[in-house]
Amino acid sequence: MQRLILILSCALTAVVCFAAGFIFGTRAPHFPRVSLNDPPAPVTQKTPQNPITPAEPKPATVPDPTPVIPPLNTPPTPKPDPTPPPPAPTPPATEESATAVAEATLKAFLDAPDWSSRASHVLYPETVRSLMEAHAATGNDGPTPFQSIDRKHSSIIEETGDRLFIFEVVTDSIPDGIPVAVMETKQGWRVDWLWFIEFRDSLFKKFTEGPIDQPATHRLIVGTATATEGEVENEFFASYDIEPPVGGTRRQAYVKKDSNAHEALKQATASGRYCAPTLEVVKRSAPEGRTYLEILRVIAGNWGPIPP
């Protein structure tokens, strides 16, 4: 029995020793073999990844021993202005000098040999030139001889601020004188050809003797018509005496009572006054064959220049 126990103890010890040897043989670390005859391996020095280069010392700043100090209270040098100064305003002409220039323009207008040369001295030449050419085709062209020129009136055009002179031109055929308007413009003094030709050629008289139903514009003197004895006032029309300033052709004209023209003339001729408007007038024919004049509208309350 003791022998059996001894055999088992020896066998167990042998198994334990075998297992330990197996484990040690398979798990032991590997050591390289080194021969005494091999040269030594070179030693490699590692280079730092971010070498730091020491900064060089900056030279010390030495102050300038003689600083430049600008003088006190010295004004800066002005720079030249590239824009030229505006011209000095032209002083307005005196009444005497303006009259002389306007009269010289009127004389050049009257002395012009034909309508085309006269057109350079007129108001509204863009539209008046064609009217001047048509008027010259009737044979009444050429210069207008005159005896004297005298300025009679001066006023200011409210819309533009320009001056307007009224001259009286005396001729052999019209000794009482022709009123002529000369107006100041940006292009200089200019003559109102429409005004001049209407009075010089007695266009209102020709209108009253001409065809019917053709309205025309005329500068006239207007006053309340003188009632004749036994005359009954018309229910629908009011009557006025009208005549041009030159020629003395006074006629009676009628205007509808419910019109703006009647209201304007009624106020302008109140208390027996006369007025000098620019009217649109037409010649009519009555059923019994006689003719009469009808005032259609008041274009302007004065004779001032009116663009055609």
Quick: pLDDT tens for 270-294: 999 999 999 999 999 988 889 999 9
Average pLDDT over residues 245-249: 85
Band of pLDDT at residue 16, cut at 50, 70 and 90: very low
* Class in CATH terms, 95-200: alpha beta
Domain(s) labelled CATH 2.40.50 in the chain stretch across 209-300
Q: Does the pLDDT value for residue 183 go beyond 60?
A: yes
**What fold, for 209-300?**
OB fold (Dihydrolipoamide Acetyltransferase, E2P) (2.40.50)
In DSSP terms, which residues pair with 153 in a beta bridge? 166
Band of pLDDT at residue 15, cut at 50, 70 and 90: very low
Label residues 214-236 b or e (16+ Cβ within 10 Å = b).
Answer: eebbbbbebbbbeeeeeeeeeee
Q: Which residues contact 305 (CB under 8 A, 6 or more apart)?
A: 123, 124, 157, 164, 181, 183, 192, 194, 195
Quick: pLDDT tens for 136-171: 998 889 999 999 999 999 998 888 888 999 999 999
Distances (CA, A) of 10 to 3, 20, 182, 250: 11, 16, 159, 175
Q: Which residues contact 179 (CB under 8 A, 6 or more apart)?
A: 152, 166, 167, 168, 195, 199, 245, 246
Average pLDDT over residues 251-258: 95
pLDDT at 6: 47
Domain(s) labelled CATH 3.10.450 in the chain stretch across 95-200
